[in-house]
Each structure stands twice: as structure tokens, then as C-alpha cells.
A = this chain, B = another copy of it.
Amino acid sequence: MTVQTRPEPADAAGLQLDAYLPYRLSVASNAVSRLIARAYEDRFGLTIPQWRLVCVLAEDGPMNQSALVSRTGMDKVTVSRAAQGLTKRHLLERSENDRDGRSHVVALSLEGVRLHAEIAPLALAYEAALISGLDPHEVALLKRLLLRLQGAAGVLAGETPSPG
């Protein structure tokens, strides 16, 4: 019953895992994410979702959680939990939104701003190390292509096309 498939069936001849884009993408992303996640976790006790919230709030200023959801593309549950964790550490502050009793406005605290300023150079250093030796315009193209893939995946999944 066991089959020695050196020569694979004709139908499947075109498929090689190593050259399969979703595979390459996933493996590369996992490697990079693991690296980054470990750095933030070990040195600052931050998860990736938490770090993303900090970044967005530092860039764009206070907003409510649903704005964070659409801004980061993360699940609302993920955002909620990340915000809770950060609030517990007083890196975030949540104030009542008097225009809408359901939502709260989330903002970085002074300490949160300080942490962001501390991590940002490290984050940039990691990026620089990852792309060292690459042509800058190759990097730009890479980012464009990633956005493109993200958009295509969203469309194929039946989402309303938002990115790309």
C-alpha cells in the first residue's frame, strides 16, 4: 500500500513547496516575527499586539479601540486584550468618551510615550539588520508587493477590498 513516489503524478508536477509563495511568505514571516517578538518580550515585556498599539498611538495620537482595530487590522478581541495589558501596566490610559458611552478613548501615558521612544530605535535597528545588504529600492518593491498580496488575499477571501 505504501507508495514510493519519486516521480510524482503529472497533475502535481508544477507544485514545489520550496517555490510556493504562500509557503515562502509564511516561513519568512514566522522567522522574523519570532525574532522580533522575543526581543520585545524579553526586554520590555511587550507582546506584538501590544507593541503595535503603542506604535499606532504614538504615531496618530489617542483613538478608541475600534479605530485601533481598523488601523492595525487585528481582531477586536486581540486589541481589547492588548489594551487591557497595557492599561494594567499604566502605559495606556482610557478615558470615558462623553460622545459615546460605549467606547473609551485610549491614549499613551507619559510612561507609554517614554517606552515607545525607548523601543523605537531598537525596532529600527532590527529592520536595518534584516535588510542589510539589500538594495533600498528592492526593499521598497518588497513592501509594495507585500501590500499587494495582502490586498489580493483579502479580495479572494471575500472581504471588501481595503488595502492595496
Footprint of B on A, CB under 8 Å? 1-6, 8-9, 11-12, 14-17, 19-36, 38, 48, 52, 55-59, 61-62, 72-73, 93, 95, 107-110, 112-113, 116-118, 120-121, 123-124, 126-127, 129-132, 134, 138-139, 141-143, 145-150, 152-154, 156-157
A129 — nearest CB in chain B belongs to which residue?
B156
20 contacts between A and B (CB under 8 A): A1-B110, A2-B109, A3-B108, A5-B61, A11-B117, A12-B117, A14-B124, A21-B139, A22-B33, A24-B143, A25-B29, A27-B150, A31-B150, A31-B153, A32-B149, A35-B153, A38-B157, A130-B153, A130-B156, A132-B152
Interface of A: prevailing SS: helix
As for how many copies of this chain the complex holds, the number is: 2
